[in-house]
Structure 1
């Protein structure tokens, strides 16, 4: 059987995992590249297991990342993250990478795309979609990326070295799609609902938990069995999408429409995470729970944390009125799986607000490096 061997690194970034490739090791033809990467992950798999590939059969573990030297003078590397469908022959290259973005800097150093500098190596990163600059601050010891450390990340069972990831916008993006810090949605069965609509990399609707009859300490397993509450929150998401101009009302009424993330927030209170860990009141600045794709999420990814930190930094927003956050200080978010901290600096832009810089701290680790084996015989990979 003919087999194609391609250098690859299997990496964890935050709470996600993906197969990383140096762009020089892949075909430049996008169609051929995607066929290879689908086979590497084991997609499409009608059994939804990706049993014959590197994919982990979940949204957070069915990803590929391609890193290349950047042609830009202001960046060292650029990367694209592909969200690989499990049961379909599809790779979505508009995916932001979310948690995996934190692994790009360490990977670039390990691959020799960026020279290692003792102490902290700053890797300047360009992501063509959505078109943003990032800076990864990676600890280096004796010329090697430091992976061992004491930094703990909820959702990751072992401590590791901290990687600080900065998102730099320099005031380019208007954060308020309606031009208002707060809007009022008319929701059937609820009435008038004050919300803050925020657009960063992730479009979000923020609302007080109490206004929805919630408390911010909900757990996903039990919550996602409450069909009545889920349907009510879907109405809020649809109305928010219409208010932001993301879709027409007619389209919003159709099932399966792409909708923004809905986040409900509450003042700090002690609670237990989904793993049974006690989260003290004084360890967080705001309680938050998020809903997307019709279900409550188990935690907060990088984009979600930044979106909430941005909302906390905008004076007069729902989050700024609820969160116990001071200007220039991290917002500690108490989510279902634990605590995630994020910083954001916003600046005036006309009558609105724009993001200047946002920062999160997460961890990354190389899990495996070597070669992925891609079968190329008849019927195994069409075109090779």
Structure 2
């Protein structure tokens, strides 16, 4: 008689015991699940278990098929928001980068793309209601202890998300969201140049010594010449991802920079999400991921930024704020490598998805140090769905 195995182990089967209110947003070139802070467990183990289940991590296949994640770092994110008690902020928000394959919850950095949806979430979920019309929400990021001002429009109690603005890496158009990082330098506590040097010498196995710059504005990033690896930054992210020696060398430099910037005691102790590492190069003609031809005279500098050990398909907004600071601070590798740079105008950053325009207001002090007043970027956003997410 054949044995029916379909009911074996049913004693271990249980319905998912919890459901939590959540909203799913696109912000810039990323997506994330949003929660009210009151709905996120205070216990770290319970919180991390919840976030991993929501996103579908850890997943050895790298697809996050059992959750809302999308299998790449820009689609494996969560945020939670609450009303602020600070005098300089209306809301506080925390960002979590969820490891795809390992399920590590990394709170070491902010996400600039998803910062564009914090204000709309706060308005629409009643955390910080405002009347219709032009709005400004002051947001305190708990990861980096920095203030960001979000400027957008409210209509019928909701943030206006439809408009005619295009951003690289996103199909279609949306309403502009202006994000101003106020006093963005020093997320690691050491100013815009964490080591006190505009440039220093790095090395990586198989590639010898080469120059680099560590810049801290909204996020810490170390910049090294693409030419060290025989590259021009015209290469696609997928092409660079397929170069294991280059990716290993970039990770080696990133972990070295973490120690130099005071973010880790040893290279092995460096967090996954911070600092970041980027290849930079003078402008050359290239094709975007959408196949659009970009001329060399359309931008000031080319970048390919690594995110969680893969090359980002565009550029993180916090990464762009760091790049912007590096462009306007004299003597950095970015400042010296950029072409046709006018620091009083838009800064044009060539990335795999197109050209991102930013601004930075920096002033040189009498002692030679730099005061970074603010950096600015524009994003679009969209509320995709809301309801409940089920998890253990």
Q: Give the TM-score, by structure 1 length.
A: 0.84
Name the SS of the counterpart of 2:79 in structure 1: strand
For 2:51 and 2:271, how far apart are their aligned partners in 1?
A: 28
Show the counterpart of 1:360: 377
Note if 1:106 corresponds to 2:105: no
The alpha-carbon distance between structure 1 residues 315 and 25, as it changes in their structure 2 partners (threshold 3 A), is same
How far off is 1:176 after superposition?
A: 1.4
Partner SS state of residue 116, structure 2: helix
1:154-204 Cα offsets, whole Å, 9 max, x none, are 111121111111111276651112212222345666555232221234322
Q: 201-210 or 276-285, which moves further after superposition?
A: 201-210
Q: For residue 284 of structure 1, what is the aligned residue in structure 2?
A: 299
- Aligned positions of 1:10-159 closer than 5 A: 10-45=24-59, 48-88=62-102, 90-159=104-173
TM-aligned CA deviation for residue 125 of structure 1: 0.6
Give the Cα–Cα distance (whole angstroms) in 1 for the partners of residues 152 and 136 of structure 2.
6
Would you say 1:320 and 2:335 are equivalent positions?
Answer: yes
8 Å CA contact retained: 1:98, 1:303: yes
Q: What secondary structure is seen at the aligned counterpart in 2 of 1:332? A: strand
Does residue 1:372 correspond to 2:386, yes or no? no
Structure 1 residue corresponding to 2:212, chosen from 184, 195, 200: 195
Deviation at 1:312, TM superposition (A): 0.4
Alignment of 1:268-283 (within 5 A): 268-283=283-298
- Corresponding residue for residue 377 of structure 1: none
User: How much does 1:88 deviate?
Assistant: 4.9
Give, in whole Å, the separation in 2 of the partners of 1:74 and 1:255: 33
| TM-score normalised by the chain length of structure 2 | 0.83
Instruction: Describe the SS at the equivalent of 1:310.
Output: helix
Show the counterpart of 2:351: 335
What is the root-mean-square deviation of aligned Cα atoms in Å? Answer: 3.0
Q: Which stretch shows the higher mean deviation, 84-93 or 282-291?
A: 84-93
How far apart in 2 are the matches of 1:370 and 1:22? 13
> CA offset at residue 130 of structure 1?
1.4
Q: Deviations over 1:281-304 (max 9, x none)?
A: 333222222345554433211111
Maintained 8 Å contact 1:290/1:296: yes
Q: 1:281 to 1:132 in 2, by over 3 A?
A: same
Q: Aligned equivalents of 1:27 and 1:80: distance in 2?
A: 13
2:226 and 2:233 in contact (8 A); partners too: yes
Aligned pairs, number = 372
1:174, 1:352 within 8 Å by CA — same for their partners in 2? no
- Whole-angstrom distance in 1 between the partners of 2:249 and 2:373: 35
Q: Unaligned 5+ residue runs, structure 1? A: 375-380
Does residue 207 of the first structure (1) align with residue 205 of the second (2)?
Answer: no
SS in 1 for 2:213: strand
Give the SS at the match of 2:326.
Answer: helix
Q: Alpha-carbon deviations, 1:189-227, whole Å to 9, x = none?
A: 655523222123432222344455332212222233334
For 1:288-337, what per-residue CA distance to the aligned partner results, in whole angstroms no more than 9, with x for missing partners?
22345554433211111111100001012221122233223221111122
Name stretches of at least 5 consecutive residues in structure 2 with no aligned partner: 1-14
Distance 2:269 2:20 in 1: 41
